[in-house]
């Protein structure tokens, strides 16, 4: 019984010695944002902006930022690392385009045949409006009577 009491006392004493009281300086340092925190938040904001323009290869309908997949999480880490290394957002996008092709961009660039992606919907809407106007005019035109 004495051994049990001594062992318990030793465990409690060890736990009390291992526990460190919070100092006022430690609490103050944690409550005040540092320069590193501001730099990290700027890096996170930039990472979010770049990841929002890239398509997730797994989810395909979502950006890297919105996707919950493991691959998207890893790709966001690559984006963060490249931005931390000093690359510009355009260089990071170019890296992913070189790896996955232009498909990885949520908004394709306006070059080559991609220009058609931007103009065909507009041309179809204009053509539809012209067709509707022509048909309405034809239906509302007075009938000509020829004797």
In the chain, alpha helices (H): 2-18, 24-31, 35-51, 70-84, 89-100, 114-140
Count of structural domains, the chain = 2
The DSSP letter of residue 34 is -
pTM: 0.55
Same domain, 102 and 114: no
Distance of CA 81 to the CA centre of its chain: 15
Same domain, 74 and 115: no
CA 17 – CA 39 distance, rounded (Å)? 37
The DSSP letter of residue 88 is -
Instruction: List, for residues 6-51, the tens digit of each pLDDT value.
Output: 455 455 555 545 554 444 444 444 444 555 687 788 889 999 999 9
Same domain, 128 and 86: no
* CATH number, residue 65: 1.10.8.640
Same domain, 45 and 67: yes
Instruction: List, for residues 55-108, the tens digit of each pLDDT value.
Output: 998 887 899 889 899 999 999 999 999 999 999 999 999 999 999 888 888 887
Domain that holds residue 128: 109-137
Same domain, 89 and 54: yes
């Amino acid at each position: 019984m004495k051994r049990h009491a001594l062992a318990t006392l030793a465990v409690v004493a060890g736990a009390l010695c291992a526990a460190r009281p919070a100092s006022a300086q430690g609490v103050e340092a944690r409550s005040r944002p540092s320069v590193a925190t501001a730099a990290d938040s700027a890096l996170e904001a930039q990472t979010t902006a770049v990841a929002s323009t890239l398509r997730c290869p797994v989810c395909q309908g979502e950006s890297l930022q919105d996707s919950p997949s493991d691959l998207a999480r890893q790709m966001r880490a690559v984006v963060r690392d490249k931005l931390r290394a000093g690359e510009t957002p355009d260089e990071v996008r170019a890296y992913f385009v070189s790896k996955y092709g232009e498909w990885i961009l949520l908004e394709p660039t306006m070059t080559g045949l991609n220009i058609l992606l931007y103009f065909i919907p507009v041309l179809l809407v204009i053509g539809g409006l012209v067709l509707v106007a022509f048909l309405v005019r034809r239906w509302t035109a007075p009938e000509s009577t020829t004797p």
